[in-house]
C-alpha cells in the first residue's frame, strides 16, 4: 500500500484542475466535411438497368435494380401489347447525341425476357415478360424506345413507389446497342417522365468480358516449360 501526504494530495488535485483541454473550433472540421462530400460524388439515379452480354453471343442480359416514383397515371401493358406508349416506355438519352440502338433495323420489335425480373408498383408485383425496342433510324439520342411488358396489365396512379429487381435475357446480341451510359430524358423532343421522373433511370450498356478458362494459364505454363526443355536438350 502506498501512502502520500496531505500536501502532496492537494498539489496533485490542483495540478489536475489546471490542465486545459485544447479547444477545436468548428471551422477546423469544415475542410474534412467538404472532402467527405466531394468524395461521395454526385447522386446516382434511383433506378439502374445494367445491359450486358458477350459480343457475338446472340443474347443480352438486363439487370434491374432500385426504386423511384410514378409521375402520372398510366399502366404497364400486358404481354403481347404492340406499339409504343409513354406510360410503360423509356427513351434513353446521352448528351453526345449517340443513339441507344446501333441496329437501326430494329423497328417496333418485342423480345421475350427469360428469367425472373420483377416490377412492383405500390402493392402490386408483376414479372417483366417482354422488352419492346424501336430504333428511330439513329437520328437523335433520346428518340429510340425501350418499353416494358408484364404478365398482366399493371395500372398505376401518380405518386406510387416503383421498384425494379432481378435479371432477364433477350435473344439480341449486345452489339445491337451503343455502349455507354444513358438516362431517361434529356432530349428536347422526347422527354418521358410518367413511370419514373426524367433522368431518374440510368441505363449502363457494356459488353461482358469473355472469361478465361481456369486451366488456360496452367496449359500455357506447361507448354512454355516443354519448349524450354527441348531447347536445352
Q: What is the pLDDT of residue 68?
A: 94
Is 21's pLDDT higher than 50?
no
Residue 191 neighbours by CB under 8 Å, 6+ apart? 91, 142, 185, 198
d(CA 68, CA 197): 8
Instruction: Provide the 8-state DSSP code for 172.
Output: S
Q: Write the pLDDT tens digit of every residue in 155-173.
A: 999 999 999 999 999 999 9
Say which residues have a Cβ less than 8 Å from residue 170's Cβ, sequence separation at least 6. Answer: 59, 60, 62, 111, 112, 113, 114, 131
Predicted local distance difference test score (pLDDT) of residue 157: 96
Q: Taking all residues of the chain, what is their mean pLDDT, rounded to a whole number? A: 80
Residue 127 is placed in which grid cell?
A: 414479372
- Across the range 52-74, mean pLDDT stands at 96
Q: Work out the pLDDT band at 190, boundaries 50, 70, 90.
A: very low
What is the pLDDT at residue 38? Answer: 39
Sign of CA dihedral 181, 112, 172, 131: negative
pLDDT at 4 over 50: yes
- Tell me the torsion sign for CA atoms 182, 186, 188, 193: positive
Range list of β-strands (E), 27-153: 47-53, 60-69, 74-76, 89-90, 92-93, 109-112, 114-115, 118-121, 124-134, 145-150
Q: Is the pLDDT of residue 31 over 50?
A: no
pTM of the model: 0.71
Whether residue 113 contacts residue 64, with contact meaning beta carbons closer than 8 Å, is answered with: no
Amino acid at each position: 500500500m502506498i501512502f502520500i501526504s496531505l500536501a502532496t494530495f492537494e498539489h496533485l488535485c490542483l495540478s489536475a484542475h489546471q490542465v486545459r483541454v485544447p479547444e477545436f473550433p468548428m471551422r477546423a472540421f469544415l475542410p474534412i466535411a467538404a472532402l467527405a462530400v466531394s468524395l461521395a460524388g454526385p447522386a446516382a439515379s434511383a433506378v439502374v438497368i445494367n445491359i450486358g452480354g458477350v459480343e457475338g453471343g446472340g443474347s443480352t442480359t438486363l439487370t434491374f435494380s432500385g426504386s423511384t416514383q410514378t409521375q402520372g397515371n398510366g399502366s404497364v401493358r400486358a404481354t403481347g401489347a404492340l406499339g409504343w406508349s409513354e406510360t410503360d416506355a423509356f427513351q434513353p438519352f446521352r448528351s453526345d447525341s449517340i443513339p441507344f440502338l446501333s441496329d437501326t433495323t430494329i423497328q417496333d420489335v418485342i423480345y421475350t425476357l427469360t428469367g425472373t425480373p420483377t416490377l412492383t408498383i405500390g402493392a402490386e408485383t408483376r414479372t417483366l415478360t417482354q422488352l419492346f425496342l424501336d430504333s428511330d433510324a439513329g437520328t437523335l439520342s433520346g428518340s429510340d424506345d425501350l418499353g416494358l411488358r408484364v404478365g398482366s396489365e399493371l395500372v398505376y396512379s401518380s405518386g406510387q413507389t416503383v421498384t425494379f429487381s432481378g435479371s432477364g435475357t433477350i435473344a439480341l446480341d449486345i452489339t445491337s446497342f451503343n455502349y455507354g451510359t444513358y438516362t431517361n430524358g434529356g432530349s428536347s423532343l422526347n422527354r418521358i417522365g410518367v413511370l419514373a421522373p426524367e433522368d431518374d433511370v440510368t441505363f449502363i450498356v457494356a459488353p461482358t468480358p469473355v472469361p478465361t478458362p481456369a486451366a488456360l494459364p496452367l496449359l500455357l505454363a506447361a507448354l512454355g516449360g516443354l519448349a524450354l526443355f527441348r531447347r536445352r536438350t
